[in-house]
């Protein structure tokens, strides 16, 4: 089973950038898909980006062209590079393992997440 810990959040001005990191543990990391979710205040948690074990990727329409998900299997990490940030990107970001085919199926439980705040 893959356990995760998110980091890298913070306060940034609109138009700025942040890179989130997800440190994972477990021997199955390299064959496990990974995803980033976010939950904005008063809204449901949503999938932001996912990456399969083979490197295939999926993005929410709202972040396409601005966010990039990547993985480092040797160090068991997943990253979310967020550029051209908007105030509506504000929320708590969570990392989670799962399976990515045409859609992403989460298999892990929710961690603490990392807060991202984009000021206008």
The whole-number pLDDT of residue 40 equals 95
* Segments of the chain scoring below 70 in pLDDT: none
Is residue 110 within 8 A of residue 61, CB to CB? The reply is no
Q: Shortest CA distance to 35 belongs to which of 56, 11, 15?
A: 56
- Residue-wise pLDDT for 9-18, tens only, equals 999 999 999 9
Buried b (16+ CB within 10 A) or exposed e, 55-71: eeebbeeebeeebbbeb
């Amino acid at each position: 089973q893959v356990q995760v810990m998110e980091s890298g959040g913070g306060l940034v001005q609109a138009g700025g950038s942040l890179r989130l990191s997800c440190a994972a543990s477990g021997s199955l990391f390299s064959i496990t898909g990974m995803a980033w979710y976010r939950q904005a205040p008063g809204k449901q948690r949503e999938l932001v980006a996912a990456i399969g074990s083979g490197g295939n990727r999926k993005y929410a329409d709202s972040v396409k062209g601005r966010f990039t998900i990547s993985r480092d299997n040797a160090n068991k990490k997943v990253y979310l590079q967020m550029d051209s940030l908007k105030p509506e990107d504000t929320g708590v970001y969570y990392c989670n393992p799962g399976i990515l085919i045409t859609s992403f199926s989460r298999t892990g439980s929710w961690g603490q997440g990392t807060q991202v705040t984009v000021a206008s």
